[in-house]
């Protein structure tokens, strides 16, 4: 992995034809302090398959970076270029061993710990949703603070185990709820819907005091009121709020490279919510997971993932102000 130029794209590349995100500099995690406001990592992990067959989500960090090559940081909707105010760098992918979940999760924790210790905002592209657990674990341990979580998803992802695996992609928020640094009454599941959930999952969320804001809440109240409520709940008695997005929070029509779950958010609703959260001082990290490139030959969901981050970053840029 290195910071060299591709003659074709004239952008720094990480490996092969994969550029750094937005063509921003590659910085080794050991050298982050004073070099960045935001550090991006890829986590090419796909663990236990919980429905159907292999999804290929471990390919997403590559396709998302490739999609980003066509974009600036400027959103005319807000009249702001995020990169005028924020220094973003790419730390490359976490080293993953598909045959060794424990070692892979330890590597994720180590990466996030280095970013947090450097005082930099961590952004992570998965991979499957299991990766949120080691990320949140590292953040709570390194910051030594209690955090809340805003979890955008069609599904609770709070099963205790799947086929004997307690760290499958449907389990991360059961494991996160067990962390001493996570306040379970400040865990918010936003966008929940559909028959791939189970009654026991909703009952577990209720039992730990977590909040469910379903797709019906969004439709009845509007995304602005719902995300404001989600942030308020996640902020209560916590020192930071972590934001995690599963691609299937979106309606399947907007997410061809994700699970086929209809009746979800529009991209407008997701981006508006992320822009709002980016404006909040206590948001301390972000991930986006479950993009499946093999299902999406046009890369629509990879581009969606780039735009999602840009809306969060523009919100962050608005509160930061121009760089000196």
pLDDT digits (tens, 9 = 90+) for 217-251: 999 999 999 999 999 999 999 999 999 999 999 99
Domain tally, the chain: 1
Q: How far is CA 2 from CA 11, 18, 46, 65, 177, in A?
A: 12, 11, 24, 15, 37
pLDDT, position 16: 86
Q: Among 172-176, 221-225, 283-287, 320-324, which stretch is predicted with the lowest mean pLDDT?
A: 320-324
Q: Report angle CA 268, 227, 67 to the nearest 5 degrees.
A: 40
pLDDT confidence tier of residue 192, bands split at 50, 70 and 90: very high
The predicted model gives 149-175 an average pLDDT of 96
pLDDT, position 4: 46
Please say whether the beta carbons of 183 and 241 come within 8 A. Answer: no
Q: How far is CA 57 from CA 171, 205, 245, in A?
A: 17, 26, 14
- Higher per-residue pLDDT: 182 or 53: 182
pLDDT confidence tier of residue 324, bands split at 50, 70 and 90: low
CATH number, domain at 152? 3.40.800.10
Range of the domain at 265: 4-320
In the block, tokens 């299937």 appear at 248
* Distant-in-sequence, close-in-space partners of 305: CB < 8 Å, separation ≥ 6: 60, 64, 67, 125, 247, 288, 291
pTM over cut 0.85: yes
């Amino acid at each position: 992995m290195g910071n060299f130029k591709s003659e074709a794209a004239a952008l720094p590349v990480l490996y092969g034809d994969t550029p750094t995100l937005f063509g921003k500099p590659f910085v080794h995690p050991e050298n982050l302090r004073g070099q960045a406001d935001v550090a991006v990592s890829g986590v090419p992990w796909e663990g236990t398959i919980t429905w159907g067959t292999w999804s290929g989500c471990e390919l997403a960090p590559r396709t998302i970076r490739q999609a980003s090559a066509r974009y600036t940081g400027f959103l005319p909707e807000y009249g702001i270029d995020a990169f005028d105010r924020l220094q973003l760098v790419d730390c490359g992918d976490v080293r993953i061993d598909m045959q060794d979940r424990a070692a892979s999760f330890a590597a994720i924790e180590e990466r996030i710990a280095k970013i947090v210790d450097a005082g930099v905002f961590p952004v992570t592209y998965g991979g499957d949703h299991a990766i949120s657990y080691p990320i949140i674990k590292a953040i709570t341990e390194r910051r030594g603070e209690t955090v809340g979580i805003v979890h955008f998803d069609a599904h609770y992802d709070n099963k205790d185990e799947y086929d004997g695996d307690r760290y499958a992609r449907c389990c991360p928020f059961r494991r996160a709820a067990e962390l001493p640094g996570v306040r379970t009454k400040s865990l918010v599941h936003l966008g929940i819907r559909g028959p791939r959930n189970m009654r026991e999952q909703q009952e577990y969320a209720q039992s730990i005091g977590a909040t469910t804001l379903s797709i019906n809440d969004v439709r009845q109240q509007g995304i602005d009121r719902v995300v404001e409520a989600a942030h308020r709940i996640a902020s209560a008695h916590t020192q930071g709020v972590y934001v995690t997005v599963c691609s299937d929070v979106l309606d399947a029509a907007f997410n061809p490279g994700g699970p086929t779950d209809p009746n979800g958010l529009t991209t407008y609703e997701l981006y508006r919510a992320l822009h709002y959260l980016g404006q909040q001082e206590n948001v301390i990290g972000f991930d986006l997971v479950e993009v499946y490139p093999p299902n999406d030959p046009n890369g629509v969901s990879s581009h969606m993932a780039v735009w999602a981050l840009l809306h969060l970053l523009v919100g962050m840029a608005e509160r930061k102000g121009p760089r000196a």
